[in-house]
Structure 1
Amino acid sequence: MASAGIRRRGGGGMTLGTPATNRLKRPSWRDPRLLVGILLVLASVAAVVSLLAGADRTTEVFIAKRDIPVGQKITEDLLDRGRVRLDPVQERYQLAAEGLPSNGFAVQRIPQGELLPKSSIDEAASVDRSPIAFSLDENLPAGAKVGSRVDVWASRPDVRSGGFNEPVRLLAGAEISQLENRSGGLGSNRSTSVYVLVGKQQMPQILDSLANNAKISVVWNPSGGQG
C-alpha cells in the first residue's frame, strides 16, 4: 500500500507529493483580537486628551509691576499679565479677561509681584486714607518699611524754654505707604520722608502739628495695634 503524499511515476520510481499550503485569512471585524486592539487605542487617546486638558487649568491674571500705594489709580501700565492656577480662589482676583474697572483706585496697598485682588480696588470715593509726608532727620527704626505699621509722635515747640513740649501720639498703627531718602547736598545731613496713610478724621490734627513746626518721631509698631 503506497504512503500518502507519494505518487508513482513511469519506470517504477516514486516521488514525494507537494504538501498542501495553509492560506492566511483576512482579519474580520468580528475578530475579538482586532476589537480589543481598537478599544486599547481609543482608551489611550482618551487618557492623553484628558491629561492635557487637566494639566492646563491656568487663568490669565494681573500682577503688580511695582508696589501700588493706596489712592493710586489702577491702570494697565502698572501691571503685568501672567497665567496661574487659581481654581478655588479664582473669584477673589481680577482676571485679565474681565479687564480693569474704568475708575478703579487702590484702597489697599498691593505689593510688587502680587496678584490683583478685587477687594483692593474701588472707586475714588471709597479711599478713606490719604498719604501725608513727615520729614525725619533721624534714622527709621529697624524693621520699618513700606507696609509696616508705625506710631507717629509730635512734640510742639515750647516758646518759653526754647525746647519742645512733651510728645503726644498723633497716630497709632498707621501704615507706611512710601519712603524717600533725601540728601541736602554736599556736607548736608540726609533726611527721610515717610509717607503715612492718614484717615480724614485724623488729618486736621496732623496738619496743625506740621504747621506749628512740631518735631515728628516715628516708632515702629510691629503689632499694628491701636492701643
Structure 2
Amino acid sequence: MRTADGAGRPATATRTRFWFDPRFALGLVLVAASVVGVSTVVAGSDSTVAVYAARVPLAVGDHLDIADLVETDVRLGAAGELYLTPDLIPADGLIVTRTVTTGELVPAAAVGTRAGESVTSLVVDLRGSLSAGLVPGSVVDVWSAGADDGGVFGPPAVLVGRAAIVRILEPTGLIQSGSGRAVEVLVPKGKVAAVLQAIANDEAISLVAVNAPIGG
C-alpha cells in the first residue's frame, strides 16, 4: 500500500535484497559429498562375493571338480576377481596348476581348463640332494648330464624347462640309495620321451628352482 509523503508524492516501499555467500554453497556441496561417500563405503563393506575354497589338498595335475570345493561368502572387494567363483567352473571341470592347501581360497591363476591339458607326471631319481626350498608346487628346470664310456659325466643341459613338482617321495625301506631323492614332476607330453630316455641311460638328473611357493 502506498501513502503520500509531505510533498504529495506517493511513498515507495523498501525492498530487502537477498544476500548469497558462495562459501555457504560450497559447504553444502562438501557435506552432501561426504554423506554420499560414507554411504558408498558402508554399502561396499556389507557386500560379499561367493568364491571357492579347497575342501581337500589340491596337487598340481589334479582334476578339479565341484566335489573338491567349498563355496564361501567373503568380503574381498575388487580382489574377488582374483579367485575361483562358481561362474568359472566349466562342465568338464578344471586342472590344478598350483598346489592349494585345505581351506585355502582357490586363486583363479591356480587352475586351468582341461582343454589345455598337455602334461603328465613322471618320477625321476635325483643324483644329488634336493634343495630345501623345493616343495610340491615349486616350478623347476630339469637338468640332466650323460656319462661317457669311462663314466665321466659331460656338461649338463636343460632337459625340461619350467616343470612343476607334484610331490617329493620319501625314501622307504632299510636300504636307501645315497643322498638322492625321488621326485614326481609334471612335464609336457612332448618331453616325456626325452625324460624316459635320460632315466633309462642312468643320466644324472637334477632340479633347479625357477620359483618356490612362499611359506611352502
Normalising by structure 2, we get a TM-score of: 0.62
Name the residue aligned to 2:193: 204
Choose the corresponding residue for 1:80, options 67, 70, 86.
70
Q: Structure 2 stretches of 5 or more lacking a match?
A: 1-39
Cα 1:56–1:73 change in 2 (3 A) is same
How far apart, CA to CA, are the structure 2 residues paired with 1:51 and 1:174?
Answer: 44
Name the residue aligned to 1:70: 60
Name the structure, 1 or 2, with higher relative contact order (CA <8 Å, separation 6+): 2
Name the residue aligned to 1:45: none
Q: Which has the larger radius of gyration?
A: 1
1:180-199 equivalent positions in 2, closer than 5 A: 180-183=169-172, 185-189=173-177, 192-199=181-188
Paired residues of 1:70 and 1:127 also in contact (CA < 8 A): no
Cα 1:67–1:139 change in 2 (3 A) is farther
Alignment RMSD (CA, Å)? 3.3
Could you report, residue by residue, the CA deviation over 1:166-222 in whole angstroms, capped at 9, with x for unpaired residues? Answer: 433213343323222122x12434753222232233333222212222221223345
1:1-227 equivalent positions in 2, closer than 5 A: 56-96=46-86, 98=87, 100-106=89-95, 108-112=97-101, 113-136=103-126, 138-158=128-148, 160-183=149-172, 185-189=173-177, 192-222=181-211
How far apart, CA to CA, are the structure 1 residues paired with 2:130 and 2:184?
Answer: 12
> How many corresponding residue pairs?
172
Q: Please tell me the residue identity of whatever aligns with 1:78.
A: D
Paired residues of 1:70 and 1:107 also in contact (CA < 8 A): yes
Normalising by structure 1, we get a TM-score of: 0.60
Paired residues of 2:50 and 2:72 also in contact (CA < 8 A): yes
